């Protein structure tokens, strides 16, 4: 059970499995690295898989920390354990963190995969694709009043009706019961980062291959966002899962692993596929 105490003061919990080209999986808000269980099991057969618990999530300690500090910590830890390049697969908040890592350490990034994620989560006059700021703040208020039950209520809302009625969802709920509850202060601070961070320019400047994976029933990353990103990044790969919400890799792990695997197996030439 490896840990690394970074200069930021966070004692990061991380795990490494397998050998080969490195895949860095980054989970999102309110969950932990175990959410990537099906991907870790599958891809560690052919790749080296690196997972982290975000600060205050899972087994990582909590200390107030910026997105940039998180990105620097992960970059330093990867170097300490002998990893000099990787493909980033980030879910939701994890995609935002992945973008920040790419912004600060572009030479290390081979590919970037955003899953239910975007470069800016809050709406603004020039960006109507994110969440309303009042909605983000409402969630923060509900979290203050109803912690930790609000975490499970929010998690459930990220799945479509079809997903919630499936046998797979019952397994997901059972699996969730064994999770470590994220720290309240960490959840609130990460929500604040989601509200304020804008990495659109970083994504526009990226030179590595991109893959965007979404569920077509995801209200966090709605369908009009997909079209906007397709116009912005015509060379990127897009995979949209029908009747899925925010976590297609949980609801349809086999199908998700197939489309991610196809992207990973594509040959890179001059930073492009």
Q: Residue 148: is the preceding peptide bond cis (ω within 30°)?
A: yes
What is the rounded CA–CA span in Å between residue 175 and residue 170?
9
Residue 268 is predicted with a pLDDT of 55
Sheet with 11-17, side-by-side order of all strands:
3-5, 11-17, 48-52, 22-26, 86-91, 109-115, 210-215, 237-241
CATH 3.60.15.10 fits 3-265, yes or no: no
- Residue 266 pLDDT: 84
CB 240 within 8 A of CB 260: no
**CB distance 215 to 114 below 8 Å:** no
Longest CA–CA separation in the chain, Å: 51
Give me the pLDDT at residue 252, please: 98
| Three-class SS state of 266 | coil
Which pLDDT value is given to residue 29? Answer: 98
CB within 8 Å of 171: residues ≥ 6 apart: none
Boundaries of every domain in the chain? 3-265
The Cα–Cα gap between 167 and 176 comes to 14
Q: Where are the beta strands (DSSP E) in the chain?
A: 3-5, 11-17, 22-26, 48-52, 86-91, 109-115, 210-215, 237-241
Token code pair at residue 58: 């899972």
pLDDT of residue 270: 43
**Tens of pLDDT, residue by residue, the chain (273 residues):** 699 999 999 999 999 999 999 999 999 999 999 999 999 999 999 999 999 999 999 999 999 999 999 999 999 999 999 999 999 999 999 999 999 999 999 999 999 999 999 999 999 999 999 999 999 999 999 999 999 999 999 999 999 999 999 999 999 999 899 999 999 999 999 999 999 999 999 999 999 999 999 999 999 999 999 999 999 999 999 999 999 999 999 999 999 999 999 999 986 544 454
How far apart (Å, rounded) are the C-alpha atoms in residues 193 and 205? 21
């Amino acid at each position: 059970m490896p840990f690394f105490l970074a200069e930021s003061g966070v004692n990061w919990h991380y795990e490494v499995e397998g050998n080969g080209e490195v895949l860095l999986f980054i989970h999102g808000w309110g969950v932990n690295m175990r959410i990537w269980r099906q991907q870790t099991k599958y891809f560690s057969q052919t790749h080296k898989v690196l997972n982290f618990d975000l600060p205050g999530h899972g087994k990582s300690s909590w200390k107030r920390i910026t997105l940039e500090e998180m990105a620097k910590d992960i970059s330093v830890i990867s170097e300490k354990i002998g990893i000099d390049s990787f493909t980033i697969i980030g879910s939701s908040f994890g995609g935002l963190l992945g973008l920040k890592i790419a912004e600060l350490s572009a030479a290390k990034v081979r590919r970037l995969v955003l899953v239910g994620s975007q470069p800016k989560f809050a709406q603004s006059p020039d960006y109507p694709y994110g969440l309303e700021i009042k909605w983000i703040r409402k969630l923060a208020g509900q979290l203050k009043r109803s912690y930790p039950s609000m975490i499970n209520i929010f998690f459930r809302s990220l799945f479509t009706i079809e997903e919630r009625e499936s046998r797979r969802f019952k397994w997901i709920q059972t699996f969730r019961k064994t999770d470590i509850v994220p720290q309240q202060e960490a959840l609130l601070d990460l929500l604040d980062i989601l509200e304020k961070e804008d990495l659109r320019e970083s994504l526009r400047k990226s030179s590595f291959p991109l893959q965007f994976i979404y569920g077509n029933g995801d209200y966090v990353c709605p369908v009009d966002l997909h079209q906007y990103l397709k116009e912005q990044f015509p060379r990127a790969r897009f995979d949209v899962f029908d009747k899925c919400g925010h976590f297609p890799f949980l609801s349809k792990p086999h199908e998700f692993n197939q489309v991610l695997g196809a992207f990973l197996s594509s040959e890179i030439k001059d930073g492009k596929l």
